[in-house]
Amino acid sequence: MLASSSSVLRRQHFLVRSLCLGGYGNRKRLHDIRSMAFDTEAENILREITPPLDPSKYKGQAGKVAIVGGCREYTGAPYFAAISALKIGADLSHVFCTKDAAPVIKSYSPELIVHPILEESYNIRDEEKEQISGKVLAEIDKWLERFDCLVVGPGLGRDPFLLGCVGQIMSHARQRNVPIVVDGDGLFLITDNPDLVIGYHLAVLTPNINEYKRLVKKVLNCEAKDQDAHQELQLLAKQIGSVTIMRKGKSDLISDGDIVKSVSQYGSPRRCGGQGDILSGSVAVFVSWARQHSSATGMDSTSQMNPTVMGCMAGSVLLRKAASLAFASKRRSTLTGDIIELLGRSLEEISPAC
């Protein structure tokens, strides 16, 4: 509905209909035109859901997000996710990480609010575990309701005690209807415990190729395939029940079990680590904005796209644009930080602030 107002898209739909009548040689062109139409739609959605910079607004209204992640090994991933959320326009970005990781993450940026509350097994004795997990939950419970979206997993690690605590955090967030983007090691957690997200319509899973393969194996009990990727993704989302999944790759495929969308806009040939983390932080912001937009326009849920799908499309198209601008200037030395620096310019080019 958002996109159909665009004359560009109408023309693309006309071309798609015309090519449908063509033969074998037209298939690739048809595919390319469909991809262009989806990319245009993703940009239109981004424009539509991005809130205006209104002087009457107060701090927090443009979004408060929290990342649950960061441990002894990984401090970059939660930082990338949290700072990307701010660079796109969220007002506040929190990180809930282990005690070891907190001073490091704080030292990257004074903009982030960092809570050193998580514990890994190596740091505690068996008899302390119950009391410590109670403390972790009590600490995060004080904050949960204030967040518009939680990102669970960037740089979380796979320590069993820590993952047990994070599973409980997810259950509490779910009880309070806080949207949850599950990425990185959060996907490792839910692949072992799918009940954490089964049936939760505000859960968004953002698997990379490996994480997707593990999810398919667990839920569909088969190997992931490249042919029929759309149908497979749709089936996976349906089988898990109500969740939205974005399968990252050459094209990002997005499905909530009802519809399947893809974003294929050219990004960058550099595959440096951390780009998925930018995406998870960005999706958290866009899902919050899409939900705000949906409730402000008052349209019923049948007449417009699922806000979680809109958030994924907007996040994907923005990351790809920033990655392509970064690559144009930094070429082979492009790093995740270079892409983050271009999120603002990319957003400005798609949806100018004033």
User: Could you list the residues that contact ligand NAX (CB under 6 A)?
Assistant: 74-77, 154-156, 184-185, 208-211, 273-274, 276-277
Specify the residue, 136 or 204, whose C-beta has the smaller distance to ligand ATP.
204
Residue 274 is assigned to a ligand binding site:
yes
Dihedral sign computed on CA atoms, order 178, 182, 183, 184 = positive
**Does residue 274 belong to the site contacting ligand ATP (CB under 6 A)?**
yes
Residue 330 is assigned to a ligand binding site:
no
Specify the residue, 116 or 184, whose C-beta has the smaller distance to Mg ion.
184
Residue 268 is assigned to a ligand binding site:
yes
Specify the residue, 242 or 251, whose C-beta has the smaller distance to ligand NAX.
251
Q: Which stretch binds ligand ATP (CB under 6 A): 2-10, 159-167, 253-261, 266-274?
A: 266-274
Beta bridge partners of 159: none
State which of residues 10, 57, 225, 250 lies at the interface with ligand ATP (CB under 6 A): 250
**Does residue 279 belong to the site contacting ligand ATP (CB under 6 A)?**
yes
Residue 252 is assigned to a ligand binding site:
yes
Residue 270 is assigned to a ligand binding site:
yes
Pull the structure tokens for residue 311: 């958030």
* Least distance to ligand NAX, CB of residue 345, Å: 23
Beta bridge partners of 150: 66, 180
**Does residue 248 belong to the site contacting ligand ATP (CB under 6 A)?**
yes
**Does residue 184 belong to the site contacting Mg ion (CB under 5 A)?**
yes
State which of residues 116, 274, 276, 281 lies at the interface with Mg ion (CB under 5 A): 276
Residue 27 is assigned to a ligand binding site:
no
* Least distance to ligand NAX, CB of residue 274, Å: 4
* Least distance to Mg ion, CB of residue 76, Å: 11
**Does residue 337 belong to the site contacting ligand ATP (CB under 6 A)?**
no
Helix H, strand E, coil C: the string for the chain is: CCHHHCHHHHHHHHHHHHHHCCCHHHHHHHHHHHHHHHHHHHHHHHHHHCCCCCCCCCCCCCCEEEEECCCCCCCHHHHHHHHHHHHHCCCEEEEEEECCHHHHHHHHCCCCEEEEEECCHHHCCHHHHHHHHHHHHHHHHHHHCCCCEEEECCCCCCCHHHHHHHHHHHHHHHHCCCCEEECCHHHHHHHHCHHHCCCCCCEEECCCHHHHHHHHHHHHCCCCCCCCHHHHHHHHHHHHCCCEEEECCCCEEEECCCCEEEECCCCCCCCCCCHHHHHHHHHHHHHHHHHHHHHHHCCCCCCCCCHHHHHHHHHHHHHHHHHHHHHHHHHHHCCHHHHHHCHHHHHHHHCCCC
59: how many CB neighbours lie within 10 A of its CB?
A: 8
* Least distance to ligand NAX, CB of residue 182, Å: 11
Residue 269 is assigned to a ligand binding site:
yes
Q: Which residue is nearest to ligand NAX (CB)?
A: 76
Compute the distance between CA of residue 101 and CA of residue 110 in angstroms, rounded to an integer. 15
Residue 353 site contact among Mg ion, ligand NAX, ligand ATP, none (CB < 5 to 8 Å, cut-off depends on kind): none
**Does residue 208 belong to the site contacting ligand ATP (CB under 6 A)?**
yes
What are the φ/ψ torsions at residue 152 (nearest 5 degrees)?
A: -110, 115
Residue 320 site contact among ligand ATP, Mg ion, ligand NAX, none (CB < 5 to 8 Å, cut-off depends on kind): ligand ATP
Specify the residue, 43 or 186, whose C-beta has the smaller distance to Mg ion.
186
60: how many CB neighbours lie within 10 A of its CB?
A: 12
Specify the residue, 56 or 227, whose C-beta has the smaller distance to ligand ATP.
227
Specify the residue, 89 or 184, whose C-beta has the smaller distance to Mg ion.
184
Name the residues that contact ligand ATP, by CB under 6 A: 184, 208, 248-250, 252, 267, 271, 273-277, 279, 316, 319-320
Binding residues for ATP: 248-252, 267-276
Binding residues for (6S)-NADPHX: 155, 208-214, 277
